[in-house]
Amino acid sequence: MDTDALSPLLSALRDAVLDGDARGAASATERALGQGVDPQRLVDGALIPAMDEAGRRFENGEFFVPELLVSARALKASQAIVTPLLAQRGGVVARGRVAIGTVKGDMHDIGKNLVVALLQGGGFDVVDLGTDVPPTRFVSAVTNDRVDIVGLSALLTTTMLQMKATLKAMETAGVRGSVKVIVGGAPVTQRFADEIGADGYADNAAAALALARRLMASGA
């Protein structure tokens, strides 16, 4: 489909998310998929730009938390349709096992859910620990779920510090050496990842999948 034909479909989805219109977002998603638009294109061309715009409006005082919430709910109505399609792309052979969650004190999960979908789509077996995950829960995922990689997500500058606390808890429990730890989320940087001693950082879901594959190839 050429870009001209695609853009009204993407705009309709983006606008429905920004209007907090969950039904509209679901039907715009179905309509675009019905016309052959790739699900990843819907994520990159409509869902992520919608959340960026919601964030911009929040910063400018045009949106408050209730507006952010309804936009996030509308986005999730689309994500519920798109995620299984992205996750289906994987092969049947698991490439490795990843436990991933949003760190303690942090409820943001839209980006983490995208990472989950792409990892599943890339053939990884994923244990999704959800949001507000305390360090002890990440530790028990390593001991009980036999994971190769632990993924930590944080969207707040305050909760980023929980990443460091989680790595420390893994060290104290004696399990840090048995897994690779990857980190991400809007405020996280490669520099921060290096500072806290994480094994990898990625700034988007596709890069997170590439990173997880690299780590597995290097013997995670």
Distance in angstroms between the alpha carbons of the first and the last residue of the chain: 39
Given the complex with ligand B12, which of 26 and 115 has the nearer CB atom? Answer: 115
Measured CA distances, 13 to 8, 18, 61, 94, 217 (Å) = 9, 9, 23, 33, 37
114 makes contact with ligand B12 (CB under 6 A) = yes
Site string for ligand B12, 65-84 (x = CB under 6 A): x--xx--x------------
Other Cβ atoms within 10 Å of 44 Cβ, number: 16
Nearest approach in angstroms of CB 31 to ligand B12 is 22
The yes or no reply on residue 61 touching ligand B12 (CB under 6 A) is no
Could you tell me the strand order of the sheet in which 97-103 lies? 125-133, 97-103, 149-153, 180-184, 200-201
Amino acid of residue 20: G
Least separation, in Å, of the C-beta of 213 and ligand B12? 12
37 binds ligand B12 per the rule CB under 6 A: no
Choice from 40, 153, 162, 166 touching ligand B12 (CB under 6 A)? 153
- Paired with 127 in beta bridges are 99
Shortest distance, position 80 Cβ to ligand B12, whole Å: 13
- Contact between residue 76 and residue 54 where contact means Cβ atoms under 8 Å apart: no
Contact residues toward ligand B12 (CB under 6 A) are 48, 51-52, 54-55, 58-59, 65, 68-69, 72, 100, 105-112, 114-115, 151-153, 155-157, 182-187, 202-205, 208
